[in-house]
Amino acid sequence: MGGEVVSMQPHEAPPGPDELRLSVAAVARRLGVAPATLRTWDRRYGLGPGEHAAGSHRRYGARDLARLERMQQALLRGAAPAEAARMALAAEVDDPPTPAAAARLIRVVPDGTSDETGDEDAHEEQGDPARRTGAVRVGGTVLRMPGAEPRARGLARAALSLDGRGAQQLLLEEMRVRGVVATWDAVVRPVLVAVAERWRYTGAGVEVEHLLSEVVVAVTARVVVEAPPPLSARPVLLGSMPGDYHTLPCRLLAAELALRRVATSVMGADLPVAALASAITRQAPAAVFLWSQLTDTAEVEGLLTLPRTRPRTRCFVGGPGWTDVVLPATVTLLPTLEAGCDALAAAAGR
């Protein structure tokens, strides 16, 4: 101040990206994994801190962090831990793994062949029925997912680690390539079924289900925003019956319809009949879809009071709550999300 010149000495300069030094706890928070997981990756695969000054705590540099991020991305794509580690190390063309790291990855057995698993997971798979059936184990917990595809196993790893960002990236990539409903059926639903099974037997896993639900909400909202402008002349209204708080089916339908360039209005959970009637009067939508998870919320009387429009608004319902309900001729039950997308898009002229 006052004309004083303040100089910054070299030791006061902020560290550049190549000088990044993070603790195990900091890296664990950044990646969304447990510190014990990082120590395991270091011990088994050589993916630990590159430098360790005597008398100081181990610190991860920028290259160490990049390597771990590649490992994590490979795991999310369904790779086994040992394979993910190989991919993370192989990506560093200019920096091949050290002999110690390579020894952890490829173990030479007495007959001269290579055991490319080379980690404790292989031995667990031999003796653990859950692993033989394709279960995902994280932190001593198991999600039994026999026959699940690699992306579903990757999503399970992210969910069990409570890695919401990684789960969102995985689902967004999948939905862009294969569509929303196909991703739900092949990737998300197997994980949710496994989480429900685990909760049934252990009472644990509610936080995983909540995380996955929020991830699906976030990703489908992004799909809608990024979709091309709608071409349908009239929108489709989507909501849940009064007393029903399940919104994921409507959000999935809205995202899939957005990809088909159908305009939608998602009215959310517990939609009062009067509010729905008001929305129909104001928008004259091409179709209305109402979800009911339980029979207690599948009320036909409310459907009969909905206003008539010109052109006519078609009424569709979906969800297990409607299974045994006798519906009027003006209401159509959609048995699956895929059938729902087709019928709603057709009603909107798409």
Instruction: Give the count of alpha carbons within 13 A of 333, CB side only.
Output: 14
Structure tokens at 23: 């603790």
Tens of pLDDT, residues 299-346: 999 888 899 888 899 999 999 999 999 999 999 999 999 999 999 999
Distance, CA of 240 to CA of 248 (rounded, Å): 10
Instruction: Give the count of alpha carbons within 13 A of 156, CB side only.
Output: 32
Is residue 299 within 8 Å of residue 241, measured between CB atoms? Answer: yes
Largest CA distance in the chain: 86
- 120-130: string of b/e by CB count within 10 Å (b at 16+)? ebbeebeeeeb
Position 296, amino acid: D
Contacts of 36 (CB under 8 A, 6+ apart): 139
**The most confident of 61-75, 87-101, 137-151, 252-266, by mean pLDDT:** 252-266
Contacts of 304 (CB under 8 A, 6+ apart): 328
Query: Which runs of consecutive H residues, i.e. helices, occur in 241-272?
Result: 248-259
* Nearest CA-CA partner of 224 in 189, 188, 266: 266
Tens of pLDDT, residues 172-229: 999 999 999 999 999 999 999 999 888 888 888 889 999 999 999 999 999 999 999 9
How much is the pLDDT for 212? 93
Match 């798979």 to its residue by tokens.
Answer: 125
